[in-house]
Structure 1
């Protein structure tokens, strides 16, 4: 969700900065990068190390509320091509799950603002025991959808998210946003969802499932951008 579908990372960074400063600490851009794609409780531990004298659960609650306030006032900052892809997939009847380490209340706020019922289920960070990069969230989503994760496509923007999706067995498309992601035989790397369609996802899936060890990511990326 964050960074893949919507560009909420600046909202999170502002909330983190405000919280650390309120305890007299200093929060840098490098600090914020440590939290991208991580589970909320793990992020809270880092904030505690920067001087935030609150319980982890309280930190998660405060940050989520602050980000939701920004979403309510500024709206959803969609990542390029994300809403268009959701619209096409929904129209084609493709079952979709939203898998995020954000809390369920925020995920539902964003899902409610999509404009249609895009997701058959939402699996959020407060619904699983293990945060990304553990695959639990993706495996749970596949179970709810009633699909084999190996016959699914996961789209992610962060290193923990990509690792979780790969570990689940899904075909993975990595769309880096805040943190660079290197080429790898384990996933397909694209620079934007702009122009990405159901046909694109089908081609990536068929290519990686038919010969994942011999077809390069560069080839698939070129096909995706075409």
Structure 2
């Protein structure tokens, strides 16, 4: 693992000094990054998988965590041999997940404080999610819509994560170069999407799934360790 991808152990600074660099924008994943919903998604998939006589294991995690509804539905259809169609499975997954999100959405530690610091510094933010729009809207009704200048849901691009399309589209809507933006993600799927788009990535894992290495990937244990000074360093030009 390169030095930039090592977990940060030092306490973050309280803010930035005068004249310190800031990213052009910060693009946040939603599930597992801003709100603690990744486990709710796993629960929905696990409950349906159990009905299909395919109890989920760690081997299924890459096909569930961080993936779009349609991807997980296709996986469950493939491994279970069910007579239900992929579309039927996707509908059931979506209904189950939406119900759990509506009942139990909790911001992750440090998420709202970081959003407030970015707002105070006038750094634009976007929400870039692979979840359906109805789930995104449910979460926004809990944490607030006004944090974000742009919100992207699964339906907003032809391809969703791990393709770069959602991050490219968010940066385009903000009128910015993706390379000048920081993406905040929690899964390898999301990191792959943001990296392919050219963003610097702050990875804050929500599960034990190993994160990919990369020169522009920085790993933290919690958003409580993130601040404006760190975000600014992630997009700063390297010293010559």
- What TM bracket, shorter-length normalisation? 0.7 to 0.9
- Structure 2, unpaired ranges of 5+: 1-29
Separation in 2 of the partners of 1:21 and 1:183? Answer: 34
1:33 Cα deviation from its structure 2 partner: 4.3
Distance between the aligned counterparts of 2:145 and 2:38, measured in 1? Answer: 23
Corresponding residue for 1:130?
159
- Indicate the residue corresponding to 2:95 in structure 1: 65
- Residue in 2 aligned with 1:141? 170
Which residue does the alignment assign to 1:210?
Answer: 238
Shift, 1:184, TM fit: 2.8
Q: Deviations over 1:42-100 (max 9, x none)?
A: 211111123243332332232222122122222x2222211211122123332211111
User: Within 2, Cα distance between the matches of 1:189 and 1:146?
Assistant: 27
**TM-superposition CA deviations, 1:158-212 (whole Å, max 9, x none):** 1121111111111111112211215432312222111312222112222xx324x
RMSD over aligned CA atoms reads: 2.0
TM-score, normalising length from structure 2?
0.79
Q: 1:25-52, CA deviations, whole angstroms, 9 ceiling, x for partnerless residues?
A: 3333432343212232221111112324
Are 2:226 and 1:196 equivalent residues in the alignment? Answer: yes
- Equivalent position SS for 2:225: coil
CA contact (8 A) 1:7 1:79 kept: yes
Q: Give 5+ residue unaligned stretches, structure 1.
A: 215-226
Instruction: State the partner residue of 1:219.
Output: none
Would you say 1:175 and 2:204 are equivalent positions? yes
CA distance in 1 between partners of 2:212 and 2:180 (Å): 24
Q: Does 1:108 align with 2:142?
A: no
Which has the larger displacement, 148-157 or 171-180? 171-180
Give the corresponding residue for 2:191.
Answer: 162
SS of residue matched to 1:50:
helix
Q: 1:100·1:124 contact (CA, 8 Å) conserved in 2? A: yes
Match of 1:9 among 12, 21, 38: 38
Task: Provide the rounded CA distance (Å) in 1 between the counterparts of 2:215 and 2:195.
Answer: 11
Match of 2:108 in 1: 79
Relative CO higher for 1 or 2, CA cutoff 8 Å, sep ≥ 6? Answer: 2
State the distance in 2 between where 1:166 and 1:116 align.
Answer: 26
Report the CA distance shift for 1:24/1:166 in structure 2 as closer, same or farther (over 3 A). Answer: closer
Residues 182 and 164 (structure 1), Cα distance of their counterparts in 2 relative to 1, 3 Å cut: closer
Provide the aligned length of Structure 1 versus Structure 2: 209
Going by fraction, where is helix more abundant, 1 or 2?
A: 1
Contact 1:7-1:78 within 8 A present in 2 as well:
yes
